[in-house]
């Protein structure tokens, strides 16, 4: 089992113990988070659905990301990641969501948004929404893999913290 699958398995145990569901909203990772989660036997008991919203139109249509957010902040921004995470909850049965949007490269970067910049957001149906921006090094595959790792570990961290608070 890969490191990513071990993270997903641990996350699944935590969600299952709480009777809660996960939804994902992915852009630059192209469904890799959902693929990692569904590699775990029994994930159908805690993973509701994944949205792969690579284009801006998909973000609008599937996740209800406001056009004004995309126009003001761009697809790669914490504001868009937050809207994606909230849209994943709105359009699913998930209790938790994780969203990822970024520039995996090798092209597409700008001085303000360089290749390797990835924005994340985690939302809880009955809680808030947190966002984070990271700058990853490496080629396209390495940036995407690091993003999947952080998405899963960040979700696990938040679910475990909620368990401790309960």
pLDDT tops 80 at residue 14: yes
Q: What is the pLDDT of residue 1?
A: 82
> Among residues 161, 154, 159, which one has the least CA distance to residue 16?
159
On whether residue 64 sits in a domain, the answer given is yes
Question: Are the beta carbons of 90 and 153 closer than 8 angstroms?
Answer: no
The Cα 76–Cα 40 span in angstroms is: 29
Residue 104 maps to which CATH number?
Answer: 3.90.950.20
pTM (2 decimals)? Answer: 0.98
Residue 157 lies in a domain: yes
- Asked if the structure places residue 166 within a domain, the reply is no
| pLDDT averaged over every residue in the chain | 97
In a domain, 142, yes or no: yes
Q: Which tens digits make up the pLDDT trace of 91-147? A: 999 999 999 999 999 999 999 999 999 999 999 998 899 999 999 999 999 999 999
Give residue-wise pLDDT tens across range 16-73.
999 999 999 999 999 999 999 999 999 999 999 999 999 999 999 999 999 999 999 9
In a domain, 16, yes or no: yes
- Euclidean distance between CA atoms 107 and 99, whole angstroms: 22
Instruction: Look at the chain and report how many structural domains it folds into.
Output: 1
Task: Indicate whether 102 belongs to any domain.
Answer: yes
Whether 138 is in a domain gets the answer yes
Give the pLDDT band of residue 165 (cuts 50, 70, 90).
Answer: confident
pLDDT at 166 > cutoff 80 = no
Q: Which domain holds residue 9?
A: 3-161
């Amino acid at each position: 089992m890969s490191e990513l699958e071990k993270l997903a398995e641990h996350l699944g145990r935590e969600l299952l113990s709480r009777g809660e569901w996960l939804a994902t909203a992915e852009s630059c990772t192209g469904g890799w988070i959902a693929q990692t989660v569904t590699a775990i036997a029994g994930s159908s008991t805690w993973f509701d659905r994944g949205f792969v919203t690579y284009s801006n139109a998909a973000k609008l249509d599937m996740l209800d990301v406001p056009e004004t957010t995309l126009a003001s902040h761009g697809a790669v921004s914490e504001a868009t990641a937050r809207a994606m995470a909230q849209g994943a909850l709105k359009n699913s049965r998930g209790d938790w969501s994780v969203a990822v949007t970024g520039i995996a490269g090798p092209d597409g970067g700008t001085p303000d948004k360089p290749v390797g910049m990835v924005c994340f957001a985690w939302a809880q149906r009955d809680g808030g929404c947190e966002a984070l921006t990271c700058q990853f090094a490496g080629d396209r595959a390495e940036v995407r893999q690091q993003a999947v790792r952080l998405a899963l570990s960040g979700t696990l961290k938040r679910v475990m913290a909620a368990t401790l608070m309960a």
